[in-house]
Amino acid sequence: MSVFTHALLSLTDTLAPLTGHAAAPAAAIVLVTLLVRLALHPLARAAARGEKARAALAPRVAELRRKHAHDPRELQRALTGLHTREGSSPFAGILPTLLQLPAFFVLYHASSTARIADAEAGALHAAVLVVVAAVACWTYRRARKAAPDAEGLAKHLPLLSFGTLITAAIVPPAAGLYIATSTAWTAAERAWLHRPHHGQGVANATPAAGGSTKTSDDRPHRT
Protein backbone atom coordinates (compact mmCIF):
# COMPACT_ATOMS: atom_id res chain seq x y z
CA MET A 1 0.00 0.00 0.00
CA SER A 2 1.44 3.37 -1.03
CA VAL A 3 1.87 6.24 1.38
CA PHE A 4 -0.81 8.22 -0.47
CA THR A 5 -3.25 5.31 -0.32
CA HIS A 6 -2.67 4.84 3.41
CA ALA A 7 -3.06 8.57 4.03
CA LEU A 8 -6.26 8.64 2.00
CA LEU A 9 -7.79 5.72 3.91
CA SER A 10 -6.76 7.18 7.27
CA LEU A 11 -8.21 10.56 6.36
CA THR A 12 -11.44 8.88 5.24
CA ASP A 13 -11.81 7.27 8.69
CA THR A 14 -11.06 10.61 10.35
CA LEU A 15 -13.63 12.52 8.30
CA ALA A 16 -16.38 9.90 8.63
CA PRO A 17 -17.81 11.31 11.92
CA LEU A 18 -17.94 14.79 10.36
CA THR A 19 -19.19 14.08 6.84
CA GLY A 20 -20.87 10.70 7.26
CA HIS A 21 -19.50 7.40 6.03
CA ALA A 22 -20.98 7.82 2.55
CA ALA A 23 -19.39 11.22 1.88
CA ALA A 24 -16.09 10.61 3.70
CA PRO A 25 -14.21 8.99 0.76
CA ALA A 26 -15.14 11.85 -1.59
CA ALA A 27 -14.21 14.49 0.98
CA ALA A 28 -10.88 12.75 1.63
CA ILE A 29 -10.04 12.64 -2.08
CA VAL A 30 -10.76 16.35 -2.51
CA LEU A 31 -8.81 17.33 0.61
CA VAL A 32 -5.74 15.19 -0.18
CA THR A 33 -5.73 16.41 -3.80
CA LEU A 34 -5.81 20.05 -2.68
CA LEU A 35 -3.02 19.48 -0.13
CA VAL A 36 -0.79 17.76 -2.69
CA ARG A 37 -1.41 20.45 -5.31
CA LEU A 38 -0.65 23.11 -2.70
CA ALA A 39 2.64 21.37 -1.88
CA LEU A 40 3.49 21.26 -5.60
CA HIS A 41 2.63 24.93 -6.14
CA PRO A 42 6.30 26.08 -6.04
CA LEU A 43 6.98 23.81 -9.02
CA ALA A 44 4.00 25.32 -10.84
CA ARG A 45 5.38 28.80 -10.17
CA ALA A 46 8.76 27.75 -11.54
CA ALA A 47 7.07 26.35 -14.65
CA ALA A 48 5.14 29.60 -15.13
CA ARG A 49 8.33 31.66 -14.87
CA GLY A 50 9.94 29.43 -17.47
CA GLU A 51 7.00 29.82 -19.83
CA LYS A 52 7.09 33.60 -19.46
CA ALA A 53 10.83 33.68 -20.08
CA ARG A 54 10.42 31.64 -23.27
CA ALA A 55 7.57 33.88 -24.39
CA ALA A 56 9.65 37.00 -23.79
CA LEU A 57 12.51 35.59 -25.87
CA ALA A 58 10.26 34.22 -28.62
CA PRO A 59 10.67 37.21 -31.03
CA ARG A 60 14.46 37.04 -30.77
CA VAL A 61 14.45 33.26 -31.20
CA ALA A 62 12.29 33.65 -34.33
CA GLU A 63 14.70 36.26 -35.71
CA LEU A 64 17.65 33.92 -35.17
CA ARG A 65 15.80 31.09 -36.86
CA ARG A 66 15.20 33.27 -39.91
CA LYS A 67 18.78 34.52 -39.94
CA HIS A 68 20.34 31.04 -39.70
CA ALA A 69 17.66 29.05 -41.48
CA HIS A 70 20.23 27.36 -43.72
CA ASP A 71 22.88 26.78 -41.07
CA PRO A 72 21.58 24.56 -38.25
CA ARG A 73 24.89 24.46 -36.40
CA GLU A 74 25.22 28.24 -36.35
CA LEU A 75 21.56 28.49 -35.29
CA GLN A 76 22.20 26.18 -32.36
CA ARG A 77 25.22 28.22 -31.29
CA ALA A 78 23.23 31.45 -31.56
CA LEU A 79 20.32 30.05 -29.54
CA THR A 80 22.65 28.72 -26.87
CA GLY A 81 24.37 32.09 -26.66
CA LEU A 82 21.05 33.91 -26.38
CA HIS A 83 19.79 31.74 -23.53
CA THR A 84 23.16 31.97 -21.78
CA ARG A 85 23.21 35.78 -21.96
CA GLU A 86 19.63 36.04 -20.71
CA GLY A 87 20.09 33.42 -17.98
CA SER A 88 17.25 31.37 -19.40
CA SER A 89 16.87 27.88 -20.80
CA PRO A 90 14.78 26.47 -23.64
CA PHE A 91 13.63 23.81 -21.18
CA ALA A 92 12.71 26.21 -18.39
CA GLY A 93 9.25 25.31 -17.18
CA ILE A 94 9.31 21.80 -18.63
CA LEU A 95 11.33 20.19 -15.82
CA PRO A 96 9.05 21.45 -13.00
CA THR A 97 6.06 20.06 -14.90
CA LEU A 98 7.75 16.67 -15.32
CA LEU A 99 8.61 16.56 -11.62
CA GLN A 100 4.91 16.86 -10.80
CA LEU A 101 3.90 13.82 -12.85
CA PRO A 102 4.91 11.10 -10.34
CA ALA A 103 2.78 12.71 -7.63
CA PHE A 104 -0.16 12.95 -10.04
CA PHE A 105 0.09 9.27 -10.99
CA VAL A 106 0.41 8.11 -7.37
CA LEU A 107 -2.48 10.28 -6.25
CA TYR A 108 -4.61 9.05 -9.16
CA HIS A 109 -3.89 5.46 -8.14
CA ALA A 110 -4.72 6.23 -4.51
CA SER A 111 -7.99 7.84 -5.57
CA SER A 112 -8.85 4.80 -7.68
CA THR A 113 -8.64 2.58 -4.59
CA ALA A 114 -11.29 4.57 -2.75
CA ARG A 115 -14.70 2.98 -2.51
CA ILE A 116 -17.72 5.14 -3.24
CA ALA A 117 -21.10 3.72 -2.25
CA ASP A 118 -23.23 2.66 -5.21
CA ALA A 119 -25.99 4.99 -4.07
CA GLU A 120 -23.61 7.94 -4.27
CA ALA A 121 -21.60 6.89 -7.32
CA GLY A 122 -24.14 7.92 -9.96
CA ALA A 123 -24.68 11.43 -8.60
CA LEU A 124 -20.97 11.88 -7.98
CA HIS A 125 -20.09 10.82 -11.52
CA ALA A 126 -22.60 13.28 -12.98
CA ALA A 127 -21.26 16.11 -10.80
CA VAL A 128 -17.69 15.26 -11.82
CA LEU A 129 -18.57 15.43 -15.52
CA VAL A 130 -20.30 18.79 -15.06
CA VAL A 131 -17.27 20.26 -13.27
CA VAL A 132 -14.74 18.86 -15.75
CA ALA A 133 -16.83 20.07 -18.72
CA ALA A 134 -17.13 23.56 -17.24
CA VAL A 135 -13.37 23.76 -16.59
CA ALA A 136 -12.62 22.44 -20.09
CA CYS A 137 -14.85 25.08 -21.70
CA TRP A 138 -13.28 27.84 -19.62
CA THR A 139 -9.76 26.64 -20.43
CA TYR A 140 -10.62 26.38 -24.12
CA ARG A 141 -11.95 29.93 -24.24
CA ARG A 142 -8.89 31.29 -22.42
CA ALA A 143 -6.54 29.49 -24.81
CA ARG A 144 -8.38 30.78 -27.89
CA LYS A 145 -8.42 34.29 -26.47
CA ALA A 146 -4.68 34.14 -25.74
CA ALA A 147 -3.88 33.13 -29.35
CA PRO A 148 -6.71 34.41 -31.57
CA ASP A 149 -4.58 34.34 -34.73
CA ALA A 150 -3.27 30.80 -34.34
CA GLU A 151 -3.22 28.76 -37.52
CA GLY A 152 -2.83 25.14 -38.51
CA LEU A 153 -2.34 22.65 -35.69
CA ALA A 154 -1.91 25.40 -33.09
CA LYS A 155 -5.45 26.56 -33.81
CA HIS A 156 -6.86 23.22 -32.69
CA LEU A 157 -4.61 22.61 -29.66
CA PRO A 158 -7.11 24.22 -27.24
CA LEU A 159 -9.47 21.34 -28.03
CA LEU A 160 -7.18 19.10 -25.99
CA SER A 161 -8.83 20.64 -22.94
CA PHE A 162 -11.79 18.34 -23.57
CA GLY A 163 -9.61 15.22 -23.43
CA THR A 164 -9.92 15.28 -19.65
CA LEU A 165 -13.69 15.04 -20.01
CA ILE A 166 -13.34 11.76 -21.91
CA THR A 167 -11.02 10.39 -19.22
CA ALA A 168 -13.37 11.42 -16.41
CA ALA A 169 -16.25 9.69 -18.18
CA ILE A 170 -14.57 6.26 -18.27
CA VAL A 171 -12.67 6.06 -14.96
CA PRO A 172 -14.26 5.09 -11.61
CA PRO A 173 -16.12 7.92 -9.85
CA ALA A 174 -13.45 8.23 -7.15
CA ALA A 175 -10.70 8.72 -9.72
CA GLY A 176 -12.97 11.08 -11.64
CA LEU A 177 -13.35 13.19 -8.50
CA TYR A 178 -9.58 13.47 -8.28
CA ILE A 179 -9.44 14.52 -11.95
CA ALA A 180 -12.14 17.14 -11.43
CA THR A 181 -10.45 18.58 -8.35
CA SER A 182 -6.98 18.61 -9.92
CA THR A 183 -8.26 20.06 -13.20
CA ALA A 184 -10.09 22.86 -11.43
CA TRP A 185 -6.98 23.63 -9.37
CA THR A 186 -4.81 23.69 -12.49
CA ALA A 187 -7.14 26.07 -14.30
CA ALA A 188 -7.33 28.46 -11.33
CA GLU A 189 -3.58 28.23 -10.72
CA ARG A 190 -2.68 29.00 -14.34
CA ALA A 191 -5.14 31.90 -14.43
CA TRP A 192 -3.49 33.34 -11.31
CA LEU A 193 0.12 32.77 -12.38
CA HIS A 194 -0.47 34.04 -15.93
CA ARG A 195 -2.61 37.06 -15.08
CA PRO A 196 -1.60 40.02 -17.30
CA HIS A 197 0.36 42.08 -14.78
CA HIS A 198 2.05 39.08 -13.13
CA GLY A 199 4.74 38.68 -15.80
CA GLN A 200 5.61 42.30 -16.44
CA GLY A 201 8.89 41.93 -14.58
CA VAL A 202 10.06 39.15 -16.90
CA ALA A 203 8.87 40.91 -20.03
CA ASN A 204 10.41 44.24 -19.08
CA ALA A 205 13.68 42.64 -18.03
CA THR A 206 14.17 41.06 -21.45
CA PRO A 207 15.35 43.47 -24.14
CA ALA A 208 13.92 43.37 -27.62
CA ALA A 209 16.00 42.08 -30.50
CA GLY A 210 19.09 44.24 -30.78
CA GLY A 211 17.88 46.41 -27.92
CA SER A 212 19.01 47.10 -24.39
CA THR A 213 17.50 46.77 -20.96
CA LYS A 214 18.28 50.42 -20.26
CA THR A 215 15.62 53.02 -20.70
CA SER A 216 16.21 56.57 -21.78
CA ASP A 217 14.68 59.69 -20.37
CA ASP A 218 13.18 61.63 -23.27
CA ARG A 219 11.86 64.39 -21.11
CA PRO A 220 13.32 67.83 -21.89
CA HIS A 221 15.98 68.97 -19.43
CA ARG A 222 16.07 72.40 -17.98
CA THR A 223 19.10 74.48 -18.76
pLDDT of 188: 92
pLDDT of 56: 78
pLDDT of 79: 78
pLDDT of 91: 65
pLDDT of 202: 40
Query: ∠ CA 174-177-183 to the nearest 5 degrees?
Result: 145
Give dist(CA 74, CA 210) in Å, integer.
18
Q: Domain segments of the chain: what residues?
A: 3-197
pTM over 0.85: no
Whole-angstrom CA distances from 145 to 52, 140, 159, 187 are: 17, 9, 13, 15
Give dist(CA 131, CA 63) in Å, integer.
42
Query: From first to last of its 223 residues, what are the pLDDT tens digits of the chain?
Result: 567 777 788 888 899 898 888 888 888 889 988 988 898 888 888 878 877 777 777 788 888 888 888 878 888 888 778 777 776 666 656 666 677 678 778 777 777 777 777 667 788 889 999 999 999 999 888 888 876 666 666 677 778 888 889 988 998 888 889 899 999 999 999 889 888 754 444 444 444 434 443 434 444 444 4
pLDDT of 7: 77
Whole-angstrom CA distances from 220 to 142, 212, 213, 216, 223 are: 43, 22, 21, 12, 9
